[in-house]
A and B are shown apart, each in its own frame.
Chain A
Amino acid sequence: MAKHPVTLTVNGDEHDLLIEPRKTLLAVLRDTIGLTGTKEGCSTGDCGACTVIVDGNAVTSCMVLGVTASGKEITTIEGLASDGELHPVQQAFINTGGYQCGFCTPGFIMASKALLDEDPNRSEEEFRHALGGNICRCTGYTKILEAILQAAAEIRETT
């Protein structure tokens, strides 16, 4: 299958790639670039495990073709910590026990980050609905909600 040249900026690094048009952004991130922190849970856009941030918006990368992401700024779970410091959302997931098996965690953390960047003042109920696109099978969500609320408080204090 013919390959197309694309340029992706992932976590600040520019990647010039030749990819088949049928490859999803998820496949490009994992198989071509080797960033495996983003997970594949359903391949149908329903579970949110593959959530990454594209130009500021949380998207399920299994639903985006890699070629259409050319020229865009992509942040994955690997790009969230800076200078050896965890992002407040990552730290909050640790503090509250907001993960168990950890497979959904990168997706939850990226979805949470996008939500908090947009508005850290949501109520618990609003966060519950806003995170409805991500599935966790281990936690029952109680501690995930604690995590995002803790991170929101931390972000409100520091900004």
Chain B
Amino acid sequence: MSEYTVVGQTVARVDAVEKVTGAAQYGADVHPAGMLYGKIVRSKQAHANILSIDTSEAEKLPGVRAIITQDDVPSGRRVFATDKVLYLGEPLAAVAATDPDIAEEAAELIKIEYEVLPVVQDVMEAIKPSAPLLQGDAAKDGPNRREISAQIRKLSRDKENDHSDEISKLEAELENYPDEVYYNISAESHSEAGDVEKGFAESDVVVEDTYVIPRVHQTYMEPHVSVASADSSGKVTVWASTQGPFAIRSGIAGTLGIPLTQINVIGTTMGGGFGGRFGVIITHVPAVLLSQKTGRPVRVQMTREEEFTDGRPAPGCVIKLKTGATNDGRILAREALAFWDSGSVSGASIGSTIRVRGVYKIPNLKVDAYGVHTNKSGTAAYRAPGAPQAIFAGECQLDEIAERIGMDPVKFRLMNMREEGDEVPAGGSEPKVGYKETLEAVADAAGWWDREADENQGWGVAVGDWTNGCGPGGVYVSVHEDGSVRIFHGSMDITGTDTAISQIIAEILTVPYESVTIRRGDTDSAPYSTGSGGSVVTFTMGNTAKLAAEDAHRRILELASERLNMNVDNLELRDGEVHVISADPPKSISLGELAAYSLSTTGGPIVGKGSFARQSSTPALAAQIAKVEVDPDTGRTRVLKLVASQDVGFAINPMAVEGQIEGGTVQGYAWAMMEEMQYGEEGNINPGFVDYRVPTSADLPTVESIIVEVPAPNGPYGAKGVGEPPITPTLATMANAVKDAIGVRINELPIKPEKVIDALKNNGHGA
């Protein structure tokens, strides 16, 4: 039995009624009087020089009110392409018109003259010298050349001694690695612990393989949208579908040179985000520019097709991975070389390559990662950014090793998992995390230990780790004369976080959950809040909410002490009333009475304030088991069972936590089995739900979720962020299950039926 009355209980969400009645207001539901409709004009080429942009025909179309290009961007920051486009769908201009169809027509009337350039879409082609150099980046050295070059630089710096012989020897050695000069590199990241060469030498088994993970789209159901209204005083109001209104405010300020105080961003109910809804340029900046130019409110809304061509999806990557272990099952070394497809923008989660380490004691680890420019849109976060890709490689290879040494995959993982107090490479020691508890829980629930499989059936297991982020936030709590409690803050609700915040405050103020209401402010009114991504909200805002409620709690006792003429030490808040401890007969005063009394006191109304920014987080583990059946004739894989456990620290609202586990697991399933953004010379070739299939209810069985609670020391009531971990192991879970079913490993996702058929044929299984 829990010691708590509100947290830890399943409650209906605070936004329940508005969400099931159509009353919730999303971005595209905002319609100020006189609103115009914006449309972004996009490149029809994947790589080309722009020779001219002719807007004259479009300007003549009745109903067109403004056309903007990069010339209208005061800071010069790239909003629209000018001389060159790098991907299909790149913005070139935007139109505002009195009707959405007129805006679309006008966009089509803008004539763009292109000089088409060679295109490169595959990362392994893009790094070759034969590839077109997309953004003029200098060539970078691969892992071996880097080491040799570093030695040369070191020797050259020593001016006191002559190293010319050694240097020419090293320079000759460089020639041994001609393929290690990489082109189109947008970013790189390297790390090393221990000595991998020594580790491999001491290993009995060494497995090496290349894993290919596709670019996938977050596919939030609400396409990006913003409505902007610039008034004649220069004040700009933006209704934005975003995970981070404060980041949008500063982004607009920086791009358009508008002071922060002149911008109010109103976050509208968010139709999913998953990390992909943080961008500033995407619709918000064009909407503001068009509104400034026309003096009228303007809505810019993306279509689903635009989401695919110019969204910021999750990066695909190629990971070459090598692992060494002993015959008795100890992992000794792991080495990764990864190429992440960052599209037209730098970066792309390359730092997450380190997650090939997993939650295991690996004494020797070396990771080299490169971001590679291609002719695609840039990328952004998607639920535990970079982790599903890296963990897919790591967890598939673990299964291969387990098979070689003849060890059960669950036992192999259990014996290598890090334990409390183990040294952490980044410094410090491993905290208490339910790694083993979570894996054991899923193994027990799925029936792993006495699993059975008919012909063409198989079982797969994998685990994935993630640590929630943390960021600044502020919360106010007011207690009213009727005893009700009102919360005010500035953080976007990300599927249930407002509910968790309300539960925490109800718990501390000992009032029923139903008497608490919560209101999110806009950036003009609310205290600063971090963006709702990185599983931060329950951790950060939960802690902030606790502080605010505790502050209110102090004021309540202070008021009761005055009112009842009692020392605070003799008072306790319980069931929404302040009681005099051990008074006989019992004596108490209700919160409502205290709130009414407070209005005529020197100290004033009951307002609790919480402000919080940073505390160290604790890793979380997700462990999953799948049972599948593969049809060898059609190659189709059917999921018979999918069980997901997660160490959530503490489940503040168990039903919402289950929902996160189920949803994240299904997104991981889809990445493994179905989803892939496909590109050709012309750019993205599957920009819609017919060709880019996401799962429907018909594709899957019920996902069984299991909550494991090993409290996080700094989490509110021990809670950890729960949104991201569940997607991290599923790619490998599915691949491992398919391998078990057909006896052939498929290292290139998604595992579509045709790949299964090919794999079977190539291994002499099929016709």
Contacts and interface: CB of A to CB of B under 8 A. Distances in A.
Given A42-B689, A131-B696, A36 B28 contact: yes
Interface stretch (B412-420, B534-542, B660-668): B660-668
A86 B20 CA distance: 9
B565 interface: no
Interface string A77-88: 110110000100
A61 interface: no
Interface string B253-278: 00000000000000001111110000
Contact of B659 (A105, A128, A139): A139
A41 B670 CA distance: 19
Given A94-B17, A97-B656, A144 B697 contact: yes
B589 to A, nearest CB: 35
B22 A78 contact: yes
B222 A134 contact: no
B667 A137 contact: yes
Contacts of B378: none
B22 A43 contact: no
Contacts of B700: 140-141
B696 A138 contact: no
A136 interface: yes
A137 B219 contact: yes
Contact of B697 (A22, A93, A102, A132): A132
B496 interface: yes
B304 A43 contact: yes
A143 B662 contact: yes
B662 A137 contact: no
Q: On chain A, which size bracket covers the interface? A: 35 or more
A39 B222 contact: yes
Contacts of A86: 17, 20-21
A37 B23 contact: yes
Contacts of A43: 303-304
A142 B662 contact: yes
Contacts of B271: 39, 101-103
Contacts of A109: 20
A103 B272 contact: yes
Contacts of A12: none
A80 B23 CA distance: 12
Contact of A138 (B12, B15, B272, B304): B272
A39 B703 contact: no
B221 A137 contact: yes
Interface in B150-181: none
B496 A100 contact: yes
Contacts of A137: 218-221, 272, 274, 663, 667, 694
Given A36-B28, A103-B221, A135-B696, A46 B21 contact: no
Contact of B31 (A34, A76, A78, A131): A34
Interface string B640-680: 00000000000000011011001111110000000000000
Interface in A135-158: 135-145
A136 B219 CA distance: 10
A136 B19 CA distance: 14
A135 B662 contact: no
A18 to B, nearest CB: 14
Interface string A30-57: 1100111111111110110100000000
A121 interface: no
Of A34, A132, A133, A137, most B-chain CB atoms within 10 Å: A137
A91 to B, nearest CB: 8
A105 B222 contact: no
Contacts of B31: 31, 34, 36
Contact of A100 (B23, B659, B688): B659
B22 A138 contact: no
Interface in A89-115: 90-91, 93-97, 99-106, 109
B663 A100 contact: yes
A22 B21 contact: no
B223 A100 contact: no
Contacts of A23: 101
A41 B223 contact: yes
Nearest to B24: A102
A100 B495 contact: yes
Contacts of B666: 139-141
A76 B696 contact: no
B135 interface: no
Interface in B206-222: 218-222
A144 B23 CA distance: 19
A139 B667 CA distance: 9
Contacts of B24: 102
Interface in A6-37: 20, 22-23, 27, 30-31, 34-37
Nearest to B704: A142
B26 interface: yes
A138 to B, nearest CB: 5
Contact of B689 (A20, A36, A46, A140): A46
Contacts of B101: 20, 22-23
Contact of A142 (B25, B496, B702): B702
B499 to A, nearest CB: 10
A95 B220 contact: no
A27 to B, nearest CB: 8
B184 to A, nearest CB: 32
A76 to B, nearest CB: 7
Interface string B398-410: 0000000000000
B688 A136 contact: no
A102 B663 contact: no
Contacts of A145: 697, 702
Given A104-B221, A134-B696, A139-B659, A78 B21 contact: yes
A42 B304 contact: yes
Contacts of B426: none
B138 interface: no
A19 to B, nearest CB: 12
Of A22, A40, A106, most B-chain CB atoms within 10 Å: A40
A12 B573 CA distance: 51
Contact of B221 (A81, A91, A97, A135): A135
A93 to B, nearest CB: 5
B29 interface: yes
Nearest to B642: A140
B690 A44 contact: yes
A154 to B, nearest CB: 15
A109 to B, nearest CB: 6
Interface string B201-241: 00000000000000000111111000000000000000000
B19 A102 contact: yes
A48 to B, nearest CB: 9
Interface string B693-727: 01111101011010000000000000000000000
B467 to A, nearest CB: 22
A37 B21 contact: yes
Given A86-B17, A101-B272, A132-B698, 8 more contacts: A81-B21, A91-B20, A134-B696, A140-B663, A140-B665, A143-B658, A144-B697, A145-B697
Interface of A: 20, 22-23, 27, 30-31, 34-44, 46-47, 49, 76-78, 80-81, 86, 90-91, 93-97, 99-106, 109, 127-129, 131-145
10 contacts: A30-B29, A42-B303, A43-B304, A47-B304, A81-B21, A94-B13, A106-B22, A135-B689, A137-B221, A140-B666
Interface of B: 10, 12-13, 15-26, 28-29, 31, 100-101, 218-223, 269-274, 303-304, 495-496, 655-656, 658-659, 662-667, 688-690, 694-698, 700, 702-703, 705
Of all A-B residue pairs in the complex, the 7 with the closest CB atoms, nearest first, are A37-B22, A103-B271, A140-B666, A102-B19, A77-B22, A46-B689, A132-B698
